[in-house]
Amino acid sequence: MLPTGLAGLEAQLWVFLVAMIRPGAAFLAAPVFGAQNIPVQVRLIISLAVGIPAIQQVPFDLPAAGLVTVMGFMLVAGEIIAGLAIGFAVQLGYASAMMAGEVIGNAMGIGFANMVDPQSGASSTALGQFLSILGTFLFLAMNGHLMLATIIVDSYHSLPPGQAWLGQGQMRDVVMFGGDMIAAGMAIALPVGFALILVQVVMAMLARSAPAMNLFSVGMPATILAGVVLLAIAAPAIGDGIATSIERGLDLARSLASAKGG
């Protein structure tokens, strides 16, 4: 429990520090919160705002010898692992949008058009960036940020500080879910990607039948135009696929927070 009065000020500050670890680790790995354009100060304030009410729900006392001990390091390590696992599960669901954009962009022939992803700071294709922004809007529209905060708060009941260790089955669930999200990204990109491959096959047949035709001056604009039209047609299905992947990521995070899995 939180000590009161100036006599327990130092202990209270240590409790504040412990309360920030799990939410901070989760927000660092999660989408939106973990973006590089989010100031560290804002992330710390949000972590403190979520962590203080959460840690008050469970009995908690600092190690008698302090945090700079073996028991203290074990407590901090458990909090970091639990937070990273919860945030990373949501990030995996969100990453299917980026992968779908990479696949479609390469099929359209615009894989060389790169932009800086504000979420990670890495370079990604323009279409991947577009679907990443779409995924961000869907994540916020379904109140995913509020669900994530709720999952973190609820995790203190089943994974109290000092006992926040994930089992082998839970870690396996995270790894297997990563494979599922690779398949989900391919499935989201499949309708547009497969149609673009057919367009490229037709362009190859035309180039074979008319060798004098400049394939680069005709084929690439035709492929890009077909890709834009197909994206407009498949936009509802793509949005549903991305939303489903994000929901699955939140479900996995909820399962990890409740100490269920495997």
pLDDT given at position 225: 86
Q: Helices marked H in 30-143 — which ranges? A: 40-55, 70-108, 126-141
pLDDT given at position 260: 64
Write the CA distances from 142 to 1, 107, 147, 159, 256, integer angstroms: 34, 30, 9, 26, 20
Local confidence pLDDT in tens for the 262 residues of the chain = 555 555 566 677 778 888 888 899 999 889 888 877 788 888 888 998 888 888 888 877 777 776 777 887 888 888 898 899 999 999 999 888 888 888 888 888 776 666 666 566 566 677 888 888 889 999 999 998 999 999 999 888 888 887 777 778 888 888 899 889 989 999 999 888 888 888 888 887 877 777 766 666 677 778 888 888 888 898 899 999 999 999 999 999 998 888 765 5
Of 154, 138, 131, 96, nearest to 231 by C-alpha is 131
Domain-by-domain residue ranges, the chain? Answer: 6-103+121-186+247-257
Tell me which DSSP letter residue 6 carries.
G
Is the model's pTM score more than 0.95?
Answer: no
pLDDT given at position 39: 84
Phi-psi region of 210 (alpha: psi -120 to 50; beta: other; left: phi over 0): beta
